């Protein structure tokens, strides 16, 4: 058998070059997406500057919307979310909260806070569901109707299907229970449906609410807190939504609309069977299945799935590695499920740009990325370990070596090190360009403090954070291959509000509970018969 050190020495240049090419291809594709997204963002921004929301509000083509909010143990922030819902600038919408077997007092908070009344509502039963609906409640919040559907629990996808069965509007907006919509967000994200009848789905932007000043369900002042994990996630979300998804939307290859903020035609969701209840990545799977349905039914030329760059939903992201690890493991498991179900689409010209370009890109640069990264780290560790004790390898890749056997250019170990550093720098520059594109168009973070934290997040994402998440993503990939059961885990929300303060909604409802308890006690006292003399 050939000596291990000799094999490593012979393959060293080629492996290093392959890893560098892989990284360059990823970042160059991101560079192309940035270019496409930036042009679209600039055009969109120029148009929005002249937008008259009052005219949009009165437009007869504006569709009615059912906002579906699946909730599982979301007592920390559910009332703030509902408060934000009650002040949306939109002519015709309803809110449907689906309490999916919560173990906390999510439902009780809503019932008490909104003064809800139990009402037997009829469902369309257009979609099959696993959970059993135990009760339905209704209340008026300003000029909108809020419906609470209590289910025995079947997971997030099942809760959304339950909500679709109770939705009464033309469009369905799926929103996470820990998200806050800006007042014009619903008007903006549904605008493409009014302008282009071929649009079947739209997605909005998710931004990080951690550290922001929140008042009455509104993010008043966005801030990036002094937290490594949070700052990196702010940068991640910024690049993913403003550049990644906007770029894919521009070239017609969008396959992910966040489950935290997406809008669909209700009839379309029913036609394709709603959300897959046995898939933990239900949001991405739904969009891929939608593309598949459109191509297989021959409707692909007349349908559009688009990203709208400005409507914003603010969400709470994990602040501990324990919660973050569960989230990232679940995300990668979900991506694995998508490819297991729709592997026939990869590289298949029948599915157009999505099949030929988008699916292979996500397979190579998202799903398999942790495998490639781990292989690269292990290979370099092997080189360093063997190089210190083996004369053959040491003479090939040692610090004093001049020739690595690559006759073109005389590449040596310091050059290889510089090559690795250059690929990391390329990644940092790409993310920096994403931040620059966002600041030139929307400029949400205006203080020097926030920009400094964003820059720190850019560096930290490539030098520390990505390596930190490697193990979690690998575990998610393994979970997918082993087909382990999927679970809708708790995210341990802290709630919205300024740092150090009690969550607005929880503090507010606590006071209301005390007042309600005192009122009930007074009623009971008044109803008691007078004592017999």
What separation in angstroms does the CA of 417 have from each of 411, 412, 502? 10, 9, 49
The pLDDT confidence band at residue 311, using thresholds 50, 70 and 90, is confident
Give the pLDDT confidence of 179-189 residue by residue, as tens digits: 888 888 998 89
pLDDT (0 to 100) of residue 324: 92
420-430 mean pLDDT: 77
pTM for this structure?
A: 0.83
CB 256, CB 246: distance < 8 Å: no
343-372 mean pLDDT: 94
16-45 mean pLDDT: 80
pLDDT (0 to 100) of residue 477: 92
Tokens describing residue 37 = 């997204």
CA distance 296 to 288: 12
272-282 mean pLDDT: 91
Instruction: Find the DSSP H helices in 342-400.
Output: 352-353, 359-362, 369-387, 391-397
- Beta-strand (E) ranges in 101-257? 117-118, 133-141, 144-151, 171-175, 179-181, 199-208, 213-215, 218-221
Burial class (CB in 10 A: 0-12, 13-18, 19+), 215: middle
pLDDT (0 to 100) of residue 30: 84
Collapsed DSSP state (helix, strand, coil) of residue 127: coil
CB 77, CB 505: distance < 8 Å: yes
Higher-confidence residue: 392 or 191? Answer: 191
Give the pLDDT confidence of 61-115 residue by residue, as tens digits: 788 999 999 999 988 888 888 888 888 889 899 999 999 999 989 999 999 999 9
Higher-confidence residue: 396 or 449? Answer: 449
Spatial CB neighbours of 238, under 8 Å, sequence gap ≥ 6: 207, 434, 435, 438, 454
pLDDT (0 to 100) of residue 263: 96
CA distance 154 to 176: 16
35-45 mean pLDDT: 76
259-276 mean pLDDT: 93
Q: Is the pLDDT of residue 413 over 60?
A: no
Q: Is the pLDDT of residue 290 over 90?
A: yes
CB 248, CB 35: distance < 8 Å: no
Q: Delimit the domains of the chain by residue range.
A: 1-64+181-257+267-509
CB 225, CB 196: distance < 8 Å: no
pLDDT (0 to 100) of residue 506: 36
Query: How many other CB atoms sit within 10 Å of the CB of residue 118?
Result: 12
Percentage of residues in the chain having pLDDT higher than 90: 36
426-443 mean pLDDT: 78
CA distance 462 to 298: 42
CA distance 81 to 79: 5
The pLDDT confidence band at residue 351, using thresholds 50, 70 and 90, is very high
pLDDT (0 to 100) of residue 21: 83
Percentage of residues in the chain having pLDDT higher than 70: 78
The pLDDT confidence band at residue 439, using thresholds 50, 70 and 90, is confident
Residues facing residue 313 across a β-bridge: 181, 206
Q: Is the pLDDT of residue 25 over 60?
A: yes
The pLDDT confidence band at residue 489, using thresholds 50, 70 and 90, is low
pLDDT (0 to 100) of residue 363: 95
Mean pLDDT in the chain? 80
- CA-nearest of 224, 174, 233 to 204 is 174
Mean pLDDT lowest among 16-30, 365-379, 403-417, 469-483 = 403-417
């Amino acid at each position: 058998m050939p000596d291990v050190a000799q094999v490593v020495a012979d393959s060293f240049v080629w492996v290093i070059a392959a890893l560098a090419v892989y990284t360059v291809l990823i970042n160059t594709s991101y560079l192309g997406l940035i270019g496409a997204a930036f042009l679209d963002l600039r055009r969109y921004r120029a148009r929005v500057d002249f937008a008259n929301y009052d005219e949009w509000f009165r437009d007869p083509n504006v569709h009615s919307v059912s906002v579906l909010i699946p909730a599982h143990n979301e007592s920390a922030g559910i009332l703030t979310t509902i408060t934000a819902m009650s002040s949306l600038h939109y002519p015709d919408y309803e809110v449907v909260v689906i309490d999916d077997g919560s173990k906390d007092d999510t439902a009780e908070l809503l019932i008490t806070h909104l003064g809800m009344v139990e009402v037997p509502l009829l469902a369309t039963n257009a979609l099959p569901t696993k959970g059993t609906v135990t009760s339905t409640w209704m209340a008026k919040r300003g000029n909108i109707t809020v419906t609470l559907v209590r289910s025995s629990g079947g997971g997030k996808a099942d809760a959304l299907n339950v909500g679709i069965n109770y939705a009464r509007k033309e469009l369905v907006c799926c929103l996470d229970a820990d998200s806050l919509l800006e007042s014009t967000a619903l008007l903006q994200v549904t605008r493409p449906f009014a302008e282009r009848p071929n649009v079947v789905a739209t997605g909005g932007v998710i931004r990080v609410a951690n550290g922001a000043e929140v008042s009455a369900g509104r993010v008043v002042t966005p801030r990036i807190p002094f937290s490594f994990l949070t700052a990196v996630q702010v940068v991640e979300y910024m690049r993913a939504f403003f550049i990644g998804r906007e770029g894919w939307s521009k070239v017609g290859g969008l396959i992910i609309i966040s489950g935290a903020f997406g809008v669909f035609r209700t009839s379309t969701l029913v036609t394709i069977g709603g959300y897959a209840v046995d898939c933990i990545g239900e949001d991405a799977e739904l969009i891929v299945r939608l593309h598949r349905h459109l191509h297989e039914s021959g409707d692909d030329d007349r349908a559009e799935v688009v990203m709208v760059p400005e409507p914003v939903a603010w969400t709470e992201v994990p602040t501990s590695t324990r919660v973050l690890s569960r989230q990232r493991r679940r995300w990668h498991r979900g991506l694995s499920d998508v490819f297991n179900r729709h592997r026939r689409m990869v590289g298949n010209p029948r599915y157009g740009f999505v099949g030929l370009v988008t699916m292979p890109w996500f397979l190579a640069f998202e799903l398999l990325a942790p495998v490639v990264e781990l292989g690269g780290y292990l290979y370099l560790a092997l080189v360093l370990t063997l190089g210190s004790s083996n004369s053959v390898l040491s003479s090939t890749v040692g610090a004093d070596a001049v020739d690595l056997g690559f006759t073109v250019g005389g590449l040596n170990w310091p050059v290889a090190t510089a090559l690795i550093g250059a690929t990391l720098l390329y990644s940092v520059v790409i993310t920096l360009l994403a931040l620059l594109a966002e600041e030139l168009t929307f400029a949400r973070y205006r203080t020097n403090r926030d920009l400094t934290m964003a820059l720190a997040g850019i560096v930290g994402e490539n030098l520390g954070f990505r390596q930190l998440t490697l193990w979690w993503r690998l575990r998610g990939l393994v979970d997918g291959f082993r087909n382990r059961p999927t679970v809708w885990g708790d995210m341990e929300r802290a709630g919205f509000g300024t740092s150090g303060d009690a969550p607005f909604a929880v503090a507010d409802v606590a006071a209301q509970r005390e007042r309600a308890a005192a009122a009930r006690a007074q009623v009971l006292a008044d109803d008691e018969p007078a004592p017999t003399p």
